[in-house]
Amino acid sequence: MLSFFKDYKYFAIVLLVLSIIIVTIIFNILTPKKVLPIYQPSMVNFEMVDSTVQHQSKYHTIADFSLINQNGDTITQEDYKDKIYVADFFFTTCQTICPIMTDHMVQIQEKIMNDDEIMLLSHSVTPEIDSVAQLKRYAIEKGVKDAKWNLVTGDKKQIYELARKSYLAVKTDGNGDAYDMIHTENFMLIDKKRQIRGFYDGTKAEDIEQLLEDIAILERD
């Protein structure tokens, strides 16, 4: 009897390994992979969306833009061509949620530093205050890496329209000035086709972890 088991020991081991492989393959086939949604204006809280696009339900993408970064360079959509990127809205003199958001964006920067597919983009909502020099001081203070992260300023109307019509991420303050904004804590994940694939609370550590996981999902697609 012992001789029988000895003769078939290696066969049993091979059979066990093959069984594990087959079960793993079947499990992977049957387990649905997470697919990130493609956000359209009609899917987002109307407070964050310009009235001209609130009912749009397909084909939404980030509009072309031309803004100036912390180095005085013109930044356009071409700088983000074929990139996945995280966008937000902030201002350098903000003392409430912005410092937390910026610290979390720094953490993301550290995670993606060696990944050529991923970039960051932060828009100032007070461009009249956030000059190139002011953005540069802020970038140095916060440890912004120029190759990965642009802090941009420029025409207030253009920034407002990007916030409300493209990124679907900023409230108006209701005082009648079309170009005064209340920025939110939102981080937006944008894919290589300029589509919004996720919204995250930039003040919450758990949302940042989810954002990093979702970036990895986009890279696998």
State the binding site for Cu cation: 94, 98, 183
Candidates 147, 151, 146, 145; CA nearest to 133 is: 151
Torsion of CA 97, 178, 189, 136, to 10 degrees: -60
Contacts of 221 (CB under 8 A, 6+ apart): none
Contacts of 62 (CB under 8 A, 6+ apart): 77, 162, 166, 167, 190, 194, 195, 196
Token pair for residue 3? 């001789």
**Residues annotated as binding site?**
94, 98, 183
The helix (H) or strand (E) run that includes residue 84 is: strand 84-90
Spatial contact of 35 and 218, defined as CB atoms under 8 Å apart = no
Tell me how far apart the alpha carbons of residues 167 and 41 are, in angstroms, rounded to a whole number. Answer: 9
Contacts of 91 (CB under 8 A, 6+ apart): 98, 124, 125, 126, 129, 130, 183
Q: What angle do CA 150, 186, 158 make, to 5 degrees?
A: 55
Backbone angles phi, psi at 39, to 5 degrees: -75, 135
